[in-house]
A and B are shown apart, each in its own frame.
Chain A
C-alpha cells in the first residue's frame, strides 16, 4: 500500500465508488510522498494522504488560527474536544497554525477501507466547518 496504489485504485473507481463520491488524485512530490485527493464538488477541501511504515494518514485542513474569533478560541477548543469521540473515524488535530481533521488507518487496510475513510473524512470536514462557523471570522 502506497500513495500510488491508492491513486490507481481511486482513479479506477471513476463513477463506480460505493460512497457516491468521485475522487481525483494528484501526487505531490517532496521528502515524503503526499497524495492530494479532490472530491468532485468539494475541490476547496482536499484530503491529503501520506503513507508511513505502519499507517496511512488522511488529513483535511479546516481553518487557520487567524480565522478563529479571538474571544471564541477556548469555546471552540472545548467543542472540538467534545466532538472528537462522536465524530466517526476522524479526530481533530493542529498542524502548525492550521486546525485539521484526520484519520489514521493501519497499513494493512483494504482499498475499500481507504475509500470509506476518505468519504467519511470529507463529510466530517464539511460538517465541522458548518457547525463551527459561529466561532470563525
Chain B
C-alpha cells in the first residue's frame, strides 16, 4: 500500500485522535534509517563513479597516445620503404604491430571503463530518485503527524483559554462590523479634515480682504453717518 493510501486510511479510520500515530514511531525510525543507508550508498556510488571516470580518462589518453605513435611509425615505415631499406621497414612494422596490440588492449579497457561509468551514472540517478521519493513519503507521514499534534495543541489551548469558538458566520459578522467601524472612522476623519481646510480657507480670504467683510463697529458707524446726510 502506498504511503498516500496509508495516510488516507488512517485519517478515515479515526487515527486523527490525538496521540494515535498514523504509522507507529518505530516504523518511521526504520524508514528514516533506510533513507540514511540509501544516502550513504549513494555517496559511495558517487565516489566509485569518480574513480572509474578518472580511469576512463587515463585510458582515453593512453589510446590517443598509442594511436598517435602508430600513425607516426607508419610514416617511418613508409619512409624506410621509399628509401628501399626493407630491413628497417620490417623492424618498424614489428614495432607498429606491438603498438597496435597495446592500443587494442587500452581501447578495450577504455570501453569497459565507459560501460562501468554509464552503469554507475544510471545507478546514481536511480538511487537519487529513490531517496527523493522516500524523503517525500517520510515528509507526508511526518507532516500528517505534526498537523495532528498541532491541532491537538490548538484545541487544548482553545478549551483552556475558555474562549468560545464562534461560528464562521458570527466571526465574519464581527470582522465586517469592525471593518465598517474603521471605515466610518476614516470617513469621519476625512470629513473633519475637509471642514478644517474650508474654515482655514475662509480665514485666509478674510485676511486678504476678499469676501464679505465683517460687520464691525466702524462699518455700522459709517452706515449711520451715511444715513444722516
Contacts and interface: CB of A to CB of B under 8 A. Distances in A.
Interface of A: 28-32, 34, 36, 41-42, 44-45, 48, 50, 52-55, 57, 59, 62-64, 67, 95-96, 126, 129-130, 133, 136-137
A59 to B, nearest CB: 8
B151 interface: yes
A92 to B, nearest CB: 13
A34 B146 CA distance: 10
A32 B153 contact: yes
B150 A48 contact: yes
A41 B178 CA distance: 6
B174 interface: yes
A45 to B, nearest CB: 6
B143 A63 contact: no
Contacts of B156: 30
Interface string B171-200: 110110011001000000000000000000
Contacts, number: 84
B142 A36 contact: no
A63 B175 contact: no
Contacts of A45: 171, 175
Contacts of A57: 143, 146-147, 150
Interface string B125-160: 000000000000001001100110111111011000
Given A44-B174, A52-B142, A57-B143, A129 B168 contact: yes
Contact of A32 (B146, B166, B167, B178): B146
A31 B153 contact: yes
A34 B167 contact: no
A130 B168 CA distance: 9
Interface residues of B, number: 26
B16 interface: yes
B149 to A, nearest CB: 4
A32 B151 CA distance: 9
B227 interface: no
B169 A129 contact: yes
Contact of B172 (A31, A48, A130): A130
Contact of B151 (A42, A55, A96, A137): A96
A51 to B, nearest CB: 9
B175 A53 contact: no
A133 B169 contact: yes
A65 B98 CA distance: 86
A63 to B, nearest CB: 4
Given A29-B153, A31-B153, A52-B142, A129 B147 contact: no
14 contacts: A29-B153, A30-B152, A31-B149, A41-B178, A42-B178, A50-B147, A52-B139, A52-B142, A53-B139, A54-B139, A55-B143, A67-B168, A130-B172, A133-B172
A130 B182 CA distance: 19
Contacts of A137: 167, 169
Contacts of A133: 168-169, 172
A136 B175 contact: no
Contacts of A95: 16, 147, 151
A133 B152 CA distance: 27
A62 B182 CA distance: 24
B150 A30 contact: yes
A31 B155 CA distance: 13
A44 B142 contact: no
A57 B151 CA distance: 12
